[in-house]
Amino acid sequence: MEDRIEVMKKFIYEQVGEDAIQILKESGLDVDTAVTNILKQQEEQREKLEVQAEFGTVEDIMTSELVYRSKSPEDVFGREYSRRLNLIGLDENQIRGLHQVESLVLSTESMAEHRKEPWVRRYFIMPDSTPENIPKVGEMTLSELILITDDANSAFWRDHHVLPEKAWQTLCIAACCAQYTEARYAYAFNARTEKLGMSKAQSGAYTKNECLLIERLKWGNHKNPAWTPETTNLEQFKR
C-alpha cells in the first residue's frame, strides 16, 4: 500500500503544482502529512470495497484465513488480523510469532486447493471420508482446527444415520460432542495455543469468536457480530 500511496502522492503534487503547494505550506499546513492521510483513507476504503465484493466484509473472514489472504501486515487483511489478536491481549511479538507459525502451516500443499474459496463455508466430513484421508493436524491452521471440529460436531447430529461406517469413524475422530469422540483437532488446537503462549482465556476467546463466525455465516443460527470488544472480553473466558 505504501508504494501505491507514494506514486499517487507524486501524481497529485504534479497536478496541483509547486506554487500551490508552497502557498499551502506557507499558510501553516503540513501538506505532506495531509495528503498522505487522505490517500491512506482512500486506499483503505478501496481495499475494503474489494474485499466486500468477494467475501462480504473483512469481518466475515476466518482469522487464519486473513493470514492466507494477506500480502503484507499493512494490507486490509493484515490489519484486521492484528486488530483481532490485539483484542484478546496478544502483543506485537506474539502476533508476529503466531503469524509466522500460521504461514508455515499454510505453505503445505496438501490443502491448498481447499483454501481458495471462503473458508467459513468449507465442509470436511464427507461420505467418502476415512480415518486414512482425514487432514493431518500439522497441516491445519488454528481456524481450520476449529472448522473441522465444528463440521464434525454438526454432522454428528445431522448425518449420523446416513454416513457410511468409515465416514462415521472419521467423524468420531474429529468431533468433540460426545464422551466417546476423540476430539483430535480440539486437543491439537489447545496444545498449539498453549505452546504459543496463549492463556486459556485467550484460547477460549479465539475459539468462541471463530465459532460465532461459523454459526452466523455457515449455519445461519444468528446475526451477531464476532471479534468485537464485547465478544473478546477475557473476563468471560476465565475459569
pLDDT 10s digits, 61-77: 999 999 999 988 889 99
> DSSP letters of 18-77?
HHHHHHHHHTT--HHHHHHHHHHHHHHHHHHHHHHHHHS-GGGS-HHHHHHH-SSTTSHH
Radius of gyration of the chain (CA): 22
pLDDT of residue 33: 78
Q: CA 61, 217, 166 angle in degrees (round to 5)?
A: 100
In which element (H, E) is residue 131 found? none
Which residues touch 7 (CB under 8 Å, ≥6 apart)? none
Instruction: With beta carbons less than 8 A apart as the criterion, state whether 51 and 76 touch.
Output: yes
Measuring CA to CA, which residue among 88, 123, 126 is closest to residue 218?
123
Q: Retrieve residue 26's grid coordinates.
A: 506557507
Mean pLDDT to the nearest integer, 31-56:
65
State the chain's maximal CA–CA distance in angstroms.
79
pLDDT tens profile 122-138: 999 999 999 999 999 99
- Spacing of C-alpha 106 from chain mean position: 13
> What DSSP designation does 22 have?
H
Most confidently modeled of 37-46, 47-56, 60-69? 60-69
Measuring CA to CA, which residue among 198, 177, 176, 172 is closest to residue 187?
176
Mean pLDDT to the nearest integer, 93-97:
94
pLDDT tens profile 166-181: 999 999 999 999 999 9
Instruction: With beta carbons less than 8 A apart as the criterion, state whether 201 and 237 touch.
Output: yes
Assign 51 a pLDDT band (cuts: 50, 70, 90). low
pLDDT of residue 144: 98
pTM confidence score: 0.78
- Name the residue ranges covered by the structural domains of the chain: 1-55, 62-237
pLDDT of residue 53: 46
Q: How many CB atoms lie within 10 A of CB 108?
A: 12
What value does the mean pLDDT of the chain take?
87
- Is the pLDDT at 235 greater than 70, yes or no? yes
Residue 3, Cβ density class (10 Å: 0-12 exposed, 13-18 middle, ≥19 buried): exposed
Instruction: With beta carbons less than 8 A apart as the criterion, state whether 129 and 116 touch.
Output: no
Which residues touch 66 (CB under 8 Å, ≥6 apart)? 58, 77, 78, 80, 81, 84
Residue 177, Cβ density class (10 Å: 0-12 exposed, 13-18 middle, ≥19 buried): middle
Which has more pLDDT, 41 or 159? 159
